[in-house]
Amino acid sequence: MNARATWDIFCRVVDNYGDIGIAWRLARQLVDASCDVRLFVDDLAAFARIEPALDARRARQTIANVDVRRWPDPDEETDVATVVVELLGCGLPSRYLAAMSAQRDSLWIDFEHLSAESWIDGFHGLPSPHPALPLTKHFFYPGFSDRTGGLLIEPDIDGRRAAFIEDATAFDAFHNRFGIPRDEGCKHVSLFAYPNAPVAGLLDAFAADASRRWSVLVPEGVLTEAITRWFGGDAGGTRTRGSLSATTIPFVGQDDYDRLLWICDINFVRGEDSFVRAQIAGRPFVWHIYPQVDAAHLAKLAAFEAIHDVDLQPEVRAAERGLWQAWNDPRAKLAPAVLDWLAVLSRLEAAAEAWRLKLLARRPLVENLIAFAAARRPSP
């Protein structure tokens, strides 16, 4: 496939930031790999929250060499790309599908959800003929095995991480810009989760810890109300109770979110995008998985635990699984699980660094995706 192949990515924003977070990382990494990319998004206001350079009022603009467009009117957009990416089953405009049918030389990729479940190895790459049109889409599954598409990780991320951590001026400037306390005696924790997370139990455990001090950094958003309620109505700034201080910081863009993960000792993350970013930050993390009907998400959680903790000693594995299970069950008693997890924190720190290096040794998803497209694109 020509190195300057054109790519169209279609994204519907469903859960505010997860969908567009994946789409934006994918678009930028394709551009870095010498592809021409158009990104169609139906909610530019949500997009602007993770990309400060974006103007949500403009239907068309270029950001980071990506041609960003508001989700197209089906009666307007018929200029079809070489490769068409339907993100997370969002569907394509009917007019665009008709143009693809007439042209018949575009590759249609259904870019699916990340999972560690073994079944995706067999589904990755499978074709799916359209029931009414002469079109076939191919499933592309991100994943952790070599039989999947891999993880959405930039090839230069390790160098950027090291440069930031080792640059004292940049490190200090980041703290000052977002009002993050510089207390070297504290353990810093980033807290990003869905609204049903048992936040109060976590804060209770940190506040009662007599052995150390905790600084929890909370991007403004869905957890703001829970934090305010726990502190009894005090809002904004940095609040303190017992061994805990909590600071609400502005919701940051993707690059700054990476830096937030790098400055913290522990990261609570959610969904798919921040979940991957926490792993390559090399810090212990706790995953809040997107809740599904009939607790179907817990199978996905268990599948990741099975590969992530395989090298841990039994007591460390039990502590990690205990906290992850409790964090994903609002009915669970969280405090005992937090204490067990903190008791093995030093060993989790070493394991997190080893896991980071393991992931970075694999071929990045975008390289796999470009090769995937080249092997399947219809002949002109």
Q: What CATH number should be reported for the domain holding residue 238? A: 3.40.50.2000
> What are the backbone dihedrals phi and psi of residue 69, each rounded to the nearest 5 degrees, phi first?
-135, 145
Confidence of residue 104 (pLDDT cuts 50, 70, 90): confident
- Sheet strand arrangement including 60-63: 60-63, 66-70, 36-41, 6-11, 83-87, 107-111, 136-140, 127-129
CA–CA dist 16, 114 (Å, integer): 17
* Structural tokens at position 38: 């158009």
Interval 20-40: pLDDT, tens: 999 999 999 999 999 999 999
| 19 is annotated as an active-site residue | yes
What total number of domains does the chain contain? 2
Query: Could you tell me if 189 and 147 lie in one domain?
Result: no
Query: Could you tell me if 227 and 347 lie in one domain?
Result: yes
Q: β-strand 266-270 against 213-219: which pairing, if any?
A: unpaired
Interval 148-184: pLDDT, tens: 999 999 999 999 999 999 999 999 999 999 888 887 7
| 36 is annotated as an active-site residue | no
Q: Are 215 and 188 in contact (CB under 8 A)?
A: yes
* Structural tokens at position 188: 């810093």
Range of the domain at 252: 157-360
Q: Are 328 and 271 in contact (CB under 8 A)?
A: no
Which of 115-124, 125-134, 198-207, 225-234 is predicted least confidently?
Answer: 225-234
* Higher per-residue confidence, 180 vs 189: 189
On whether residue 1 sits in a domain, the answer given is no
Query: Could you tell me if 118 and 191 lie in one domain?
Result: no
On whether residue 211 sits in a domain, the answer given is yes
Write down the catalytic residue from 51, 86, 112, 272.
Answer: 272
Note every long-range contact of 318-323, with CB atoms under 8 Å and residues 24 or more positions apart, other chains counting. 319/343, 319/344, 320/344, 320/348, 323/286
What CATH number does residue 109 fall under? 3.40.50
Query: Could you tell me if 136 and 166 lie in one domain?
Result: no
Task: Specify the pTM.
Answer: 0.94
* Structural tokens at position 277: 């970013």
> Which pLDDT belongs to residue 379?
62
Query: Could you tell me if 250 and 113 lie in one domain?
Result: no
Interval 357-368: pLDDT, tens: 999 999 999 999
Query: Could you tell me if 98 and 208 lie in one domain?
Result: no
Looking at the DSSP bridge assignments, the partners of residue 217 are 190, 247
